[in-house]
Amino acid sequence: MFQQAKGGFNVYKTYRNLEAELSRYGIARKDIAAVLGLNVNTVSEKLSNPDRLKLKEAQTIRRTFFPKLTMEYLFDDGELSGKYQREA
């Protein structure tokens, strides 16, 4: 859940690949919130803290916005050290 940052502060890991794809395709948090039926702030919190995002929500995001990309690629939280590549 946490990774050690410089200076000893703990920071949340994020889904870097998902963030890159959201930016690449111009998909906003409000778009995800609408699909999931959640508040935009709640979506932001879930995407900033991998432990809060439910599997069903992740599957809905992938299916709705990135059907050609794998779950493993989109939701790699850094634990796999880039094992999964973009396949689209």
For 55, the 3-state DSSP assignment is helix
The two structure tokens encoding residue 39: 């508040």
Q: What is the pLDDT of residues 12-26, one digit of tens each?
A: 568 899 999 999 999
The two structure tokens encoding residue 17: 């690949």
CATH class of 2-74: mainly alpha
Cβ-contact 43, 72 below 8 angstroms: no
pTM of the model: 0.76
The two structure tokens encoding residue 18: 């998902």
Per domain, the residue ranges of the chain are 2-74
Q: What is the pLDDT of residues 41-58, one digit of tens each?
A: 999 999 988 789 999 999
